Structure formats: structure tokens, C-alpha cells
């Protein structure tokens, strides 16, 4: 299935795109990948290329693939038909990308990511559930940092905004369903929300 690009290169302007929360998410991207000590990494949907550029500074070899040649990916192609052999990369990843595909198609793309991965697949997705961050820090004594959903909150309907076809914890895409659907394809090791940017939820899958 072919899709046209949703945004132009200018969408990734620093001031409008790279807020502090997204910077912190990039730290988590690097942290999860580097822990696996991969020789090769494939990033599907690289956006402005920030992950690859930062990862290279830490000795991580990243190749990118996108359908938009304007973003200058290493490979131009579809996420649902990755032009690579099985287990071609140690790790495959896609950060805030799969929601740009219809839900059933995003599962097809994830299946392809699992196929070409040797060790693990790392993804992040938008989690729309509202939360309060409760943080207490007493120097040299204790630290407490939790995300707590407000009582009585109800999931919202998702309306396609020209970019996101779906988001976690909206009607029809509750966390349990999304987790179960993706876990049928890859072996889920853990999932968590970034405390400094709760809109981003990470999933780590092992082969």
C-alpha cells in the first residue's frame, strides 16, 4: 500500500518541532538502543534525522528509510515492504511514526520491522491519556516521580488531523488492545511513558 508524505521538510523547524519534551524523548531513544549494543540499526521514518546524527556521535551505525526523498534517507521505500533481508539489522526502530499509518497498516509495518530485526524492535507512539506528574525530591533522602491519571477521565474519539490516524488511549485504541495487537507480532519486554513528555510511550520488543 502506497502513501504520500504528510508533511513537508519545513515541518521539522527547530522552534516549532523540537521542544524540550521531544529532546528528552531522543535521550530515551538513544538510551534504549545503546543498551542493546547493536552493530547496525534501521530507523523507519527518521523525520529531521536527529536520532541518526546524535547516535553517530556515540558510535552507533544507523541507516534510515522513508518514502520522502526530500528528507535524504539512506533508503527510499515503504515501511510496509522494507527492501531488506530477514534479520538484516540488529535493531529496528520507529519513533512517533506508526500512528501516521492507519492502524491495520501500522501493524503491517511493525511486522516488517520485526522481520528485518535480529535482536530487538523499539518504537514510541503517542499516548493521549491525560496524566498529572507527581514529583517529590528530598536531597539525600528519597525521590518520588509518578504519572497519575485524573479520576473519572474518559477516552476521547480520535479525529484524523492530516497526520495521526490513531493514538493510544483514544476510543478503539486503548492501551490493552494496542499492546496485545503488537505483542502478537513481537515479544514485548516493557512499555513506559516518558515522565517529562508523557505523550510519548515507548515499547521495547525482543526477537
For position 145, what pLDDT does the model report? 87
For position 43, what pLDDT does the model report? 98
Q: Residues of 154-184 as b/e, b for ≥16 C-beta within 10 angstroms?
A: ebeebeeeeebbbbbbbeebeeeebeeebee
Element at 23 (helix H, strand E): helix 20-34
Strand partners, 117: 89
pLDDT in tens, 97-153: 999 999 999 999 999 999 999 999 999 999 999 998 888 888 888 888 889 988 888
Cα–Cα separations (whole angstroms), residue 202 to 20, 101, 169, 179 = 17, 17, 14, 11
For position 2, what pLDDT does the model report? 56
Give the mean model confidence (pLDDT) for residues 54-81. Answer: 95
Give the mean model confidence (pLDDT) for residues 151-159. Answer: 90
Nearest CA among 133, 132, 130, 123 for reference residue 178: 123
Q: Given 3.90.1150.10, 3.20.20.70, 3.40.50.150, 3.10.310.30, which CATH number is that of 9-129+160-206?
A: 3.40.50.150
For position 149, what pLDDT does the model report? 87
Cα–Cα separations (whole angstroms), residue 25 to 8, 72, 117, 128, 152 = 22, 22, 22, 16, 28
Q: 3-class SS at 42?
A: strand
Global confidence as pTM: 0.88
For position 27, what pLDDT does the model report? 95
Give the mean model confidence (pLDDT) for residues 165-194. Answer: 98
Per the listing, cell 519486554 goes with 189
Give the mean model confidence (pLDDT) for residues 184-201. Answer: 97
Q: Are 196 and 20 in contact (CB under 8 A)?
A: yes
Q: Which is it for strands 132-138 and 142-148: parallel, antiparallel or unpaired?
A: antiparallel
Q: Are 170 and 156 in contact (CB under 8 A)?
A: yes
pLDDT in tens, 16-56: 555 787 889 999 999 999 999 999 999 999 998 999 999 99
Burial class for 190, CB neighbours closer than 10 Å (0-12, 13-18, 19+): exposed
For position 29, what pLDDT does the model report? 97
The answer on pLDDT for 9 being more than 60 is no
Give the mean model confidence (pLDDT) for residues 46-68. Answer: 94
For position 196, what pLDDT does the model report? 92
For position 99, what pLDDT does the model report? 98
For position 23, what pLDDT does the model report? 87
Per the listing, cell 521495547 goes with 204
Amino acid at each position: 500500500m502506497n502513501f504520500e508524505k504528510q508533511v513537508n521538510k519545513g515541518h521539522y523547524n527547530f522552534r516549532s518541532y523540537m521542544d524540550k519534551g521531544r529532546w528528552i524523548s531522543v535521550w530515551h531513544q538513544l538510551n534504549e538502543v545503546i543498551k542493546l549494543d547493536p552493530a547496525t540499526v534501521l530507523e523507519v521514518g527518521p523525520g529531521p534525522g536527529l536520532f541518526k546524527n546524535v547516535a553517530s556521535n556515540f558510535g552507533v551505525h544507523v541507516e534510515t528509510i522513508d518514502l520522502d526523498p526530500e528528507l535524504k534517507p539512506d533508503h527510499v521505500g515503504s515501511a510496509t515492504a522494507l527492501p531488506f533481508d530477514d534479520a538484516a539489522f540488529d535493531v529496528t526502530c520507529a519513533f512517533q511514526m506508526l500512528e501516521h499509518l492507519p492502524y491495520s497498516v501500522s501493524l503491517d509495518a511493525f511486522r516488517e520491522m520485526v522481520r528485518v530485526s535480529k535482536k530487538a524492535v523499539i518504537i514510541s507512539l503517542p499516548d493521549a491519556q491525560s496524566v498529572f506528574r507527581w514529583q517529590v525530591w528530598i536531597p539525600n533522602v528519597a525521590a518520588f516521580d509518578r504519572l497519575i491519571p485524573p479520576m473519572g477521565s474518559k477516552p476521547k474519539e480520535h479525529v484524523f488531523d492530516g497526520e495521526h490516524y490513531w493514538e493510544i488511549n483514544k476510543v478503539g485504541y486503548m492501551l490493552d488492545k494496542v499492546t496485545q495487537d503488537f505483542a502478537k507480532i513481537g515479544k514485548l519486554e516493557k512499555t513506559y511513558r516518558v515522565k517529562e513528555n508523557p505523550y510519548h510511550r515507548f515499547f521495547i520488543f525482543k526477537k
